[in-house]
Amino acid sequence: MPDPLSDTPVRVLHLITLFSLGGATENTLLTVEGLQQLGYDVEIITGPPIASEGDMFAEARARGVRVKVIQILKRSIHPLLDARAFVRVFWMIREGRYQIVHTHSSKAGVLGRLAARLAGVPVVVHTIHGLPFHDFMSAAPRRLFILAERLGTSMSDRVISVTDTIIRKCISAGIGSPEKFVTVRSGFEMDPYLRPAGDAVALRQSYGIGPQEVVVGNIGRFNALKGHQYLIDIIPDVVKEVPNVRFVLIGSGELEEELKERVRQRGVSDRVIFTGRVDQDRIPLFIAMMDILVHTSLREGLARVLPQALAAGIPAVSFDLDGAHEVIRDGITGRLVTACDQERLCRALIDLLKNPDQARSMGATGREIVRHTWTVEAMVRGVDEVYRQLLERKGLLASGPGEPPRLKKNARGSRS
């Protein structure tokens, strides 16, 4: 029976290595906001921002989400700093008296889960947004990352994955057993993509794109694993077949100047637009200005930009890696291409550009598929169900289904 006298909310900490612009941060922020609305007492701990990657701190403040920064928590491996960061995380968890610690990303996932266990946190959850090991890395670091994931999973009560494919890869690599995992799709706010604010035609005009030109867009940070080079190298061939095409590359990062030089070397500078970093709330409008979205990342759990493009009615062409096939139905909502196969990537883009009616039909079909299944509400509901199951298993939950999550009167957090 639920305890009618209990009024203590469940305290939850979300720990993520960086709060930079991107799918993992947006997923975390929207999840925390939704959990707060359900009645959880939630906050986020993260590392300091990297200027070239942007951040979502202002967005968190606007949404009423509390975020604390540990300056020594970095993405790159620094044994001394990592040890200090671990100690800091441990004491913050102890002092916070959390019933749940929920980690995201590799560095925070390992440090946070270990610290939570040592601090006596009753429930430890981790979300895999994308595996740290992949098919394009050498054997030694791959083995190291797999070992780290095995360790982290052993310390987790439940591991949430944004795709079924990630779970299959984990189990294949000996990381946990099937019952340890659950898939919760990475939802996003649907309405801005269904009805983008602003004028997409005016946006195209502001970049000098004429009414008779067609736009292929790409969104992603400019780093090696995003695979921009595979796209840039085929642009001359696409332009030969479709002279009125323009390519819009949205993002920034350490490889920006190198990629611009690659475009110049290919002789297609007049066909390629680099927008720089775009505010997150303007991404729906930038997608709306596209005719096709192309995604060439070599490592991605499931790029949120794929269902976002489909929600906007824009067909997507993507390398067939990780969870891309879980949102793109080849030939129905877009095209899937074997990773690094530039010839097929080129052919897929040309085919869609030369058949605009087919492309529009794919986008419309994609919109109907994703508009009800990739919502924030569904994502938050999935995480809430995981939390409640684990809290009940630990004998901590006093409230019943549909009620705000409340603790039993004698329940304690990490500092018991």
DSSP per-residue codes, 164-207: HHHHHHHHHTT-S-GGGEEE----B--HHHHS-SS-HHHHHHHT
Domains along the chain with CATH numbers: 11-187+375-393 (3.40.50.2000), 191-370 (3.40.50.2000)
Spatial separation of the C-alpha atoms in residues 203 and 208, rounded to whole Å: 9
Burial bucket for residue 401 (CB in 10 Å: 0-12, 13-18, 19+): exposed
| Residue 274 backbone phi and psi in degrees, to 5 | -100, 115
Assign 247 to helix, strand or coil: strand
Q: Is the dihedral of CA 271, 275, 280, 282 positive or negative?
A: negative
Place of tokens 């993002």: 251
| Residues in a beta bridge with 248 | 217, 273
Assign 287 to helix, strand or coil: helix
Spatial separation of the C-alpha atoms in residues 247 and 404, rounded to whole Å: 48
| Residues in a beta bridge with 13 | 43, 101
Q: How far is CA 386 from CA 103, 162, 324, 337, in A?
A: 14, 14, 25, 34
Q: Which among 280, 279, 307, 282 is positioned nearest to 293, based on CA atoms?
A: 307
pTM across the whole model = 0.85
Tallying the residues shown for the chain, one arrives at 416
CB 316 within 8 A of CB 309: yes
CA 354 to chain centre: 32
Q: Rounding to the nearest 10 degrees, give the CA dihedral for residues 367, 278, 37, 98.
A: 120
pLDDT at 178: 94
pLDDT at 415: 57
Strands (E), 189-315: 214-219, 245-250, 272-276, 292-295
Spatial separation of the C-alpha atoms in residues 51 and 403, rounded to whole Å: 41
pLDDT at 412: 67
User: What are the tokens at 21?
Assistant: 């612009």
Q: Could you read off the pLDDT tens digit of each residue along the chain, which spans 416 residues?
A: 455 546 789 999 999 999 998 888 999 999 999 999 999 999 999 999 888 788 999 999 999 999 999 999 988 888 888 999 999 999 999 999 999 999 998 889 999 999 999 999 999 999 999 888 767 778 888 898 889 899 999 999 999 999 999 999 999 999 999 999 999 999 999 999 999 989 999 999 999 999 999 999 999 989 888 999 999 999 999 999 999 999 999 999 889 999 999 999 999 999 999 999 898 889 999 999 999 999 999 877 678 899 999 999 999 999 998 788 999 999 999 999 999 999 999 999 999 999 999 999 999 999 999 998 899 999 999 999 999 999 999 999 988 888 999 998 777 676 54
Q: Which residues, including other chains, have CB under 8 Å from residue 326's CB and lie 6 or more apart?
A: 163, 164, 165, 302
pLDDT at 5: 47
User: What are the tokens at 37?
Assistant: 């609305």
